[in-house]
Amino acid sequence: MAQSTFEFVRDNIAATPFHQWLLPELLEVNEKESSVTIRLPIRPEFCRLPGRPELHGAIVAAMVDITGHAAIAAKVRHTVATVDMRVDYLRLAGGNELLAVATAIKLGKTIGVVDVRISDDQKRLVAVGRAAYVTISV
């Protein structure tokens, strides 16, 4: 039986050793809207300073890249490489989880572009990102 898009993206995310440490959880692949939603439970080692609840910016940036990658991979059904990525941090992130939603806004023959929104568990927008990925199989 053929693997569903959700199963493909879930397995693709799980295959990366860094993701095996980070443990992002795929919640949804919306093929109609070309979007992917990923949840990240927060652990103390993600914090930017000892004893503080705010997350290190690299964790937020990683979620932009992971979710953006997933949105393009869901469309092309293979792993893709990051070409460019930008993150705008809007406020310090904290709480118990992050929720990332990536939407593919352009899927070309060689490059795909996504917009990503990262929210905390209080539904506050903490960062936005835009990333580009190679769409040909690498």
Q: Kindly report the CATH number assigned to the domain that includes residue 74.
A: 3.10.129.10
pLDDT beyond 90 at 51: no
Predicted structure pTM score: 0.94
Residue 34's pLDDT is what? Answer: 96
- What is the count of structural domains for the chain? 1
**CB-count exposure of residue 100 (10 Å: 0-12, 13-18, 19+):** buried
Domain ranges, residue 102: 5-134
Q: pLDDT digits over 76-131, tens only?
A: 999 999 999 999 999 999 889 999 999 999 999 999 999 999 999 999 999 999 99
Rounded to an integer, what distance in angstroms lies between the CA atom of residue 9 and that of residue 3? 10
Q: pLDDT digits over 20-36, tens only?
A: 999 999 999 999 999 99
**CB-count exposure of residue 95 (10 Å: 0-12, 13-18, 19+):** middle
Sequence-distant (6+) residues with CB within 8 A of 3 are 11
